[in-house]
Homo-oligomer: A and B are copies of this chain.
Amino acid sequence: MFKIGELADLCNISADTLRFYEKNGLFQASKRSGAGYRLYTQADKNRLEFILTSKSVGFSLKEIADLLSINLDKSNRTCGDAKQLVDDKLAQVKEKLAELERLESSLQSLSDACCGGSESALHCTILEALATPKKPH
């Protein structure tokens, strides 16, 4: 059994984060000691690793709760259920990517057009471009 600080160290997160996950219903210690200390089992640690791996591929805590509920009830849930969550997330990520690519290209154009020199910015193409209203897309 691990105390909260031990588990936190093992998983490279803080004890505060573990308490936060608990408060948000993601993750509870299996037991408490006589003094009220949280005591985590290996199974608890596995569940936490599931959470952290999910986080590392971009899922929010709310989405991770959904993944966990599928994982907890595997035999009554389908591959389709799991894949749906992944595909929804993938779609979100692609959307953000597209937006960031748009920003990247706008910024690159701004940067390319400006000499970046040390003369005054009176005719700076960046400032001129930013002062020009853009039609909404």
Contacts and interface: CB of A to CB of B under 8 A. Distances in A.
B57 A127 contact: no
A81 B119 CA distance: 10
A90 B108 contact: yes
Nearest to A91: B107
A130 B78 contact: no
Interface in A58-88: 58, 67, 70-71, 74-84, 86-87
Given A53-B132, A53-B134, A86 B118 contact: no
Name the residue among A54, A84, A93, A129 with the largest chain B CB count within 10 angstroms: A93
28 contacts: A49-B131, A52-B133, A53-B132, A54-B130, A56-B134, A58-B107, A70-B121, A71-B121, A74-B120, A74-B121, A74-B124, A76-B120, A78-B117, A78-B118, A78-B120, A79-B114, A79-B116, A79-B117, A83-B115, A83-B116, A86-B107, A86-B110, A86-B126, A89-B107, A93-B103, A93-B104, A96-B100, A97-B104
Interface of A: 12, 46, 49-50, 52-54, 56-58, 67, 70-71, 74-84, 86-87, 89-90, 93-94, 96-97, 100-101, 103-104, 106-108, 110-111, 114-122, 124, 126-127, 129-134, 136
